[in-house]
Amino acid sequence: MDYRQRETMNPLLTFKHLETPGEVRSAYPVMKELRPHLASADAFAEQVQRQRGEAYRLLGAFDGERLLGLAGYRRMTNLIYGPFVYVDDLVVAADNKRGGVGSALLAEVRRIARDAGCAQFVLDTGLHMALAQRFYFRNGLLAKGMHFRQALDMTEEAVQ
């Protein structure tokens, strides 16, 4: 496990990758604020374990033992960016918004990306998320495209 302390608005802020199922389960209340569809702490821990097979890492921002925020990210490579880090999840506990934790998490994941030799830092946010968009602009990210998706019908008839 790694612990890092960075200069932020909160000088006591530390960063730690959550590695064990117990550590991940303990982060469930914070992640549920961003991903309310997650049914339980156990289901969350199981999903994180599956995503680890795709290089997913879950980074926590702590003030002492108190979890203030999370960043879920993965290192990837594709033809458009080359090696890059993609942020899947970024959430700060509701009672700690505006404390600089979100910006500190982004800065820490950027540092991790640079250390891994990545030249790009990528994330998506919903078109309806105006406050998140402003936050990302303030933190130096630029809108470079639109993200499209389609839910696939996985019934047997559709697959054949």
Which of 15-29, 92-106, 139-153 holds the top average pLDDT? 15-29
Q: Quote the tokens at residue 6.
A: 């960075």
Which amino acid is residue 137, in one-letter code? F
Q: Is the dihedral of CA 16, 88, 121, 141 positive or negative?
A: negative
Domains, the chain, in order of start with CATH, read 3-140 (3.40.630.30)
- pLDDT tens digits along 110-120: 999 999 999 99
Q: What pTM was estimated for this model as a whole?
A: 0.86
Place of tokens 């982004």: 106
What H or E segment, with its residue span, contains residue 136? helix 130-138
**Alpha-carbon distances, residue 29 vs 16, 53, 96, 110 (angstroms):** 17, 23, 13, 25
Assess contact for 60 and 15: CB atoms under 8 A. Answer: yes
**pLDDT at residue 4 in the model:** 45
Over residues 113-132, the mean pLDDT reads 94
Q: Please check the confidence at residue 3 and state whether its pLDDT lies above 50.
A: no
